[in-house]
Structure 1
Amino acid sequence: YKFKSGEKVDAIIKIGKNLVPIDSKFPLENFKKYLDEEDSKAKEDLRKKFITDVKKHINDISEKYILPDEGTYDFALMYIPAENIYYETILKDESLGEERSIFSYAIQKRVLPASPNSLFAYLQVIVLGLKGLQIEKSAQYIFQSLSRLQGDLGRFKNDFQILGTHLVNAKSKFDDADKRLDRFSDKLELVSEDTPEELPEKAASKKKLP
């Protein structure tokens, strides 16, 4: 896979929307010399050279292939082609602890060393991790949506209760006004019944004064 810089990584695996770069150009020259050397001092010197080679290779992977702007994840895999090499480089625990420091150094550079047996396991962990991240994001989105819905429901409930209070008050006012109107009508009828009939006109047959 070729990047814009012209650098080519040995392989990429697309997981989700991004790419996992995999480098397999592991430096073996000094490692082979280290295995073949019988003199203890020379062997130790070759081991140190090998460790230097590996750290330089880690730097190259980190600088050349971890390119999020070009769609990669923020890490890469360094493929070590044999289990015995992986053991000598990563797992072997000597008194100075330099081999273990290689692993720590690689992790600091966002480079994951992988052997033939561990490569597939690494990829599975990456896939499961990304799925977990997606589920977490989905759960967070659902939680946020439910929170917003709960807030909207709370506001609607408050408005509904206020409206109900207004309706109750309006009905109470209406009932009071209706009762007052009934009382006023009753009084008006009583007043009408108590009004005296119109007095008869004075008889025109009154005697006239002489």
Structure 2
Amino acid sequence: MELGIFVLLAVLVVLLLVLLVRSFKPPAQAPDAGMLVMQQQVDQLRQQLSETLTANTNQMQQQLSQITTQVNSQLQSVNQQLTSATGQIGTRLDNAARVVGEVKQNLGELTKATQQVYEVGKDISSLQEILRAPKLRGSLGELFLGELLAQVLPPTHFSLQYRFKSNEAVDAVITLGPGLVSVDSKFPLENFKKMIETSVDEEKKSHRKRFLTDVKKHIDAIAAKYILPDEGTYDFALMYIPAENVYYETIIKDESFGDEKSLCSYALTKRVIPVSPNSFYAYLQAIVLGFRGLRIEKSAQEIHQRLQRLSGDFLKFKDDFDVIGKHLSNTRGKYEEASKKLDRLGDRLVTIDHESAEPKVKVTLPKEELARPALFD
């Protein structure tokens, strides 16, 4: 491209020189030999420049054509890329719009859920206010205890609100073999709530000590009221603690104060076993296994009794069988004896038949045969 422009400028310069030379040529003079040579060179140069210009023009046209083709191809590729990018952008915008719509919908649902949580929070606050009354809280604990017993044990193996002769009613009793296991679900929680609500260490320790004192009093009451072996109970009872966090603070995270025993040790000395909902479920599963063992033992006893009866029947049958054997032996002996007599009688009949055929022969019968009645008259 730059070469063609340079050649074009050179041609223009040469043409200007030729025009200048012609304009200063003297009139009516004979042509000079040098001028002719110069004229020829100029003509040759003009021809060369014309050929060069033509070649460069053709080359430039080819290059322009190639460049145009390349530019068109690149433009087409760019158009395709732009179209694809536009489609992708449109798809992404659609996805973004859909995501924004879903986010709006989720935000709406989240708002509803937040409102529901707020309502549930108000209901829980109301329930907490209701459960401040110890009697209602105790009734709720009895309800949970009854549901747990009903889910694990057969109805015939537990009773709710069992009343003793002293007119004291325990929340539940479990029938285990010949005895009863008392279960009490009431639990003091006032000082426990104060203990977990305060953030001052001294107040927390004070409330905890009062709480443990309340629990010990409750343990003493269970031991005195519900462990009654003379009325069919075992010599221990279960103290049902209604919540896992309370059980953890009471039993698992138990600390002794000075020379005092830990709460768990104190309860065990009174033959009262503290249980939480989870540990009570494990106790019930063990009791269910005990029931299965009792059923197996009862079945084994029944099988043993049946085997004893069968053994007696077998002995009786053996005696009868021996008697029948003796009778059969006697019958066989009599049969063999009768068979022998029958054979002898047959022999005598044959003898008599022979004697009747020979009348001259005198037959002398034995005396025992003479004593028998005649066979033929």
Give TM-score scaled by structure 1 length: 0.62
Which blocks of at least 5 consecutive residues in structure 2 are unaligned? 1-160, 356-360, 364-377
Asked if residue 163 in structure 1 is aligned to residue 323 in structure 2, the reply is: yes
Matched residues in 2 for 1:104 and 1:4: separation? 25
Matched residues in 2 for 1:186 and 1:25: separation? 105
1:1-210 counterparts in 2 under 5 A?
1=161, 2-9=163-170, 11-12=171-172, 21-28=182-189, 31=192, 38-39=201-202, 43=205, 51=212, 53-67=214-228, 75-92=236-253, 98-102=262-266, 104-105=268-269, 109=271, 111-126=272-287, 128-129=288-289, 131-186=291-346, 188-189=348-349, 192=352, 196=362
Contact 1:24 1:80 in 2 (8 A): yes
Which blocks of at least 5 consecutive residues in structure 1 are unaligned? 198-210
Matched to 1:196, the amino acid is K
Contact 2:216 2:267 in 1 (8 A): no
Q: Which residue of 1 is the match for residue 134 of structure 2?
A: none
Cα deviation, residue 174, structure 1? 2.0
**C-alpha offsets along residues 34-89 of structure 1, whole Å, 9 cap, x if unaligned?**
6656249x94x876775565344323212212346657666533122332221132
Matched residues in 1 for 2:343 and 2:277: separation? 100
Cα deviation, residue 152, structure 1? 2.5
Contact 1:34 1:47 in 2 (8 A): yes
Cα deviation, residue 24, structure 1? 3.3
Q: Which has the higher contact order (CA 8 A, sep 6+)?
A: 1
Contact 1:91 1:99 in 2 (8 A): no
**C-alpha offsets along residues 91-133 of structure 1, whole Å, 9 cap, x if unaligned?**
2376998355246435xx1x3322244445544544x246415
**C-alpha offsets along residues 172-193 of structure 1, whole Å, 9 cap, x if unaligned?**
2123212231243145436645
Matched residues in 2 for 1:143 and 1:178: separation? 51
Matched to 1:144, the amino acid is H
The structure where helix makes up a greater share of residues is: 2
Higher Cα Rg, which structure:
2
Matched residues in 2 for 1:100 and 1:38: separation? 23
